[in-house]
Structure 1
Amino acid sequence: MEDPELAAIRASRMGQLQQQGGGAGGAKGEDDGAKQQAEEQMRRDLLATVLDSAARERLARIALVSPERARQIEVILLRMAQSGQLRGKVSEEQLIDLLDQIDGAQSKTASGKGSIVFQRRKGGFDDDDDW
């Protein structure tokens, strides 16, 4: 249940990667750099098909402030697109909702770490009790 446009873009990019990998006889470092650039371009193209213009602008602004957070959002969006969970382009409001969901999930996990919870038993024996 994959988007045909997304599948076509992915197939063309994979063909380009295979052509670059097969025809290049240069150094391994150059090969890795070209491969990284091709993967980055493929990621940008996929995001362009998944996001509308306002959502792309917002994601770009987020990347200016927090690159790792923007990368995390991109990974989530691409995973959702590949699994067929997205029905059409993601609007800015949907992106904001996704950000809120991520914030909620992170705050729940952050509040659970480092905190100590004491559970007192009622009706138990104390050291002050006489035997």
Structure 2
Amino acid sequence: MEDSELAKIRQARLEQLKAQGGDPGGGGAGPKLGGGGGGQDPAQQRQQAEAEARQSMLNQILQPEAADRLGRIRLVKEQRATEVENRLIMLAQSGQLRAKVTEDQLKELLNAVADNKEEEKIVVSRRKGWDDDDDDDLFDL
């Protein structure tokens, strides 16, 4: 049952990509586009299939409000959104998620990721330069 739904989603996404212009590499390579959508190399097809499977899993994990928030976060900080998505998928695969993630739970997860980032910050302390005004009293003339 889920396989047929996934196949329908993939087909709809493929049609959507064809309607948008097809080849993301573009550049006017006419012969490369010759066969329609079948001209993609296997690595691109695999990457697209993985992205669709990932999005499908996230749709099953997140409530709509949480998915919207994660989408807005992706616009600002793509790396942080990817980290949160990876953590959510890992939690779902390990069976630690009992229900769909709410927006409040997503906020808590974002704060946890932000706390980890703060611990990794590097503080640079610079030595005083030669032009420091405090040392002027050493040279009484």
Residue of structure 1 equivalent to 2:49: 38
Question: Unaligned stretches of 5+ in structure 1?
Answer: 1-7, 17-25, 117-131
Query: Secondary structure at the residue paired with 1:84?
Result: coil
C-alpha distance in 1 between matches for 2:49 and 2:115: 34
Cα deviation code 1:92-124 (max 9, x no counterpart): 0000000111111211222xx4468xxxxxxxx
Q: What is the one-letter code of the residue matched to 1:35?
A: R
In 2, the alpha carbon distance for the partners of 1:45 and 1:94 equals: 20
Structure with higher RCO (Cα < 8 A, 6+ apart): 1
TM-score by length of 2: 0.59
Match of 1:63 in 2: 74
Runs of 4+ in 1 over 3 A off after TM superposition: 113-116
- Give the superposed CA RMSD: 2.5
**CA separation in 2, counterparts of 1:33 and 1:114?**
41
TM-superposition CA deviations, 1:28-76 (whole Å, max 9, x none): x611111111000000000000000000000000011111111111111
1:84 corresponds in structure 2 to 95
Secondary structure, aligned partner of 1:64: helix
Aligned residue for 1:42, secondary structure, equals: helix
Counterpart-to-counterpart distance in 2, 1:74 and 1:114: 29
Residue number in structure 1 paired with 2:59: 48
Distance in 2, Cα, partners of 1:108 & 1:65 = 21
Unmatched runs of 5 consecutive residues or more in structure 2: 8-37, 126-141
Number of aligned pairs?
Answer: 94
With normalisation by structure 1, the TM-score equals 0.63
Structure-2 residue corresponding to 1:94: 105
Report the residue type matching 2:111 in the other structure. Answer: D
Partner SS state of residue 97, structure 1: helix
